[in-house]
Amino acid sequence: MTAQLPPIPPQFKSLQHHLRTAQEHDKRDQVVAYYCRLYAMQNGMKIDSKSPECRKFLSKLMDQLEIQKKELGDCDSITQEIVGSAHVENYALKMFLYADNEDRAGRFHKNMIKSFYTASLLLDALTVFGELSEENIQHRKYARWKATYIHNCLKNGETPESGPVGFEGEDYNEDDDGTSASTEAPERSSFTYKPGNMPASNYTGIHIPPGAHAPANTPAEVPHSSGGMRLTPEDFAQAQKYCKYAGSALQYEDVNTAVENLQKALKLLTASRE
């Protein structure tokens, strides 16, 4: 990444952590880095595109995006929205799962806090493709709350409680350190994150991505098993490929190829149930 950004204007303070996450992922996952910058660009334009300092900053950010887009070339995750969206979502949920597993095992540390918080930032970035699903809205809110809660407990010398105990849509503010700080009088939200809806039950076995801040002795992957079904990492990768091919076919209105690949993915994922 050759284009350097000028100091971030105060108006864009809310975007500083997304840009920092982009920088951290330049060597880990350029696709993730690209969409974090694109999110910052789109939201920066909404915040202030007229003042001289903001225009200068956005211009440099646009240069970064153009350079990175050229570096990525014909990468499917850049040229096809459906592939890019799946890439960012999978990466965010992998980081979420790592942090959630650490939390439920009672292992509270800075890396898991950062993974929770970074997952929430990546779910922010996912909005460049459209509105988040209700499930991902809850994941994002829970991840930010959990990062806040554990950060404050450790700072105050307290032992955090694992899982969603005490979470009923706490409010938070972002501080300058990249973690979130609770408000003194949090408001009630419109939903409660119930233990039975925890993402771990939906995403068991998602691989921890490079750079997810997992300690060296953390297993890189955990096989998925549920109700007698056991899928290998290779099975998941192949199923993702079939879905990607189906998405590509739909872009060219090739329904037969799309259906064929979706059927292959479905057969792979359900074969061991039969």
- The predicted-structure confidence for 254-270, as pLDDT tens digits, reads as follows 788 888 889 888 888 88
The chain-wide mean pLDDT, for the chain, equals: 79
Planar angle of CA 28, 30, 36, nearest 5 degrees? 105
Among 12-26, 44-58, 92-106, 228-242, which stretch is predicted with the lowest mean pLDDT? 228-242
**Which among 43, 15, 27 is positioned nearest to 121, based on CA atoms?**
15
**Residue 243, C-beta contacts closer than 8 angstroms, at least 6 positions apart:** 86, 261, 262, 265
Percent of the chain with pLDDT over 90: 56
Asked if 145 and 100 count as a contact pair (C-beta separation under 8 A), the reply is: no
Q: Is residue 98 part of a domain?
A: yes
63 and 172 part of one domain? no
Q: Is residue 214 part of a domain?
A: no
- What pLDDT, on a 0 to 100 scale, did the predictor assign at position 113? 96
263 and 186 part of one domain? no
**Residue 29, C-beta contacts closer than 8 angstroms, at least 6 positions apart:** 91, 209, 210, 211
Better pLDDT: 59 or 200: 59
Asked if 220 and 238 count as a contact pair (C-beta separation under 8 A), the reply is: no
Helices (H) and strands (E) in the chain, counts: 10, 4
Q: Is the pLDDT of residue 165 over 90?
A: no
Q: Is residue 215 part of a domain?
A: no
Q: Is residue 246 part of a domain?
A: yes
66 and 86 part of one domain? no
130 and 175 part of one domain? yes
- What pLDDT, on a 0 to 100 scale, did the predictor assign at position 226? 40
163 and 74 part of one domain? no
Q: Is residue 128 part of a domain?
A: yes
- What pLDDT, on a 0 to 100 scale, did the predictor assign at position 216? 32
Q: Taking residues 142-165, report their average pLDDT.
A: 94
**For residue 219, what pLDDT band results from cuts at 50, 70 and 90?**
very low
Following DSSP, what letter does each residue of 143-160 receive, concatenated?
A: HHHHHHHHHHHHHTT-PP
120 and 195 part of one domain? yes
158 and 95 part of one domain? yes
Q: Considering 45, 60, 78, which residue would you say is the last residue of a domain?
A: 78
Other Cβ atoms less than 10 A from the Cβ of 251: the count is 12
Q: Is residue 86 part of a domain?
A: yes
Q: Is residue 111 part of a domain?
A: yes
55 and 139 part of one domain? no
Q: Considering 50, 78, 106, which residue would you say is the last residue of a domain?
A: 78
For the chain, what's the residue count?
274
Provide the domain count of the chain. 3
17 and 115 part of one domain? no
- What pLDDT, on a 0 to 100 scale, did the predictor assign at position 117? 97
- What pLDDT, on a 0 to 100 scale, did the predictor assign at position 224? 41
**Tokens at residue 234, please?**
């290779």
CATH number, domain of 64, equals 1.25.40.270
Does pTM surpass 0.75? no
Q: 11-39 burial string, b = 16+ CB within 10 Å, else e?
A: ebeebebbbebbebbbeebbbbbbbbbbb
- What pLDDT, on a 0 to 100 scale, did the predictor assign at position 236? 78
- What pLDDT, on a 0 to 100 scale, did the predictor assign at position 237? 77
Asked if 215 and 111 count as a contact pair (C-beta separation under 8 A), the reply is: yes
**For residue 180, what pLDDT band results from cuts at 50, 70 and 90?**
very low
Angstrom distance (rounded) from CA 93 to CA 53: 35
CATH number, domain of 247, equals 1.20.5.420
Q: Considering 54, 78, 102, which residue would you say is the last residue of a domain?
A: 78
39 and 128 part of one domain? no
44 and 130 part of one domain? no
106 and 57 part of one domain? no
> What residue numbers bound the domain in which 156 lies?
82-200
Q: Taking residues 223-244, report their average pLDDT.
A: 67
3-state secondary structure of 138: helix
Planar angle of CA 84, 226, 259, nearest 5 degrees? 45
Among 45-59, 92-106, 181-195, which stretch is predicted with the lowest mean pLDDT? 181-195
pLDDT tens-digit readout, 103-143: 999 999 999 999 999 999 999 999 999 999 999 999 999 99
Q: Is residue 17 part of a domain?
A: yes
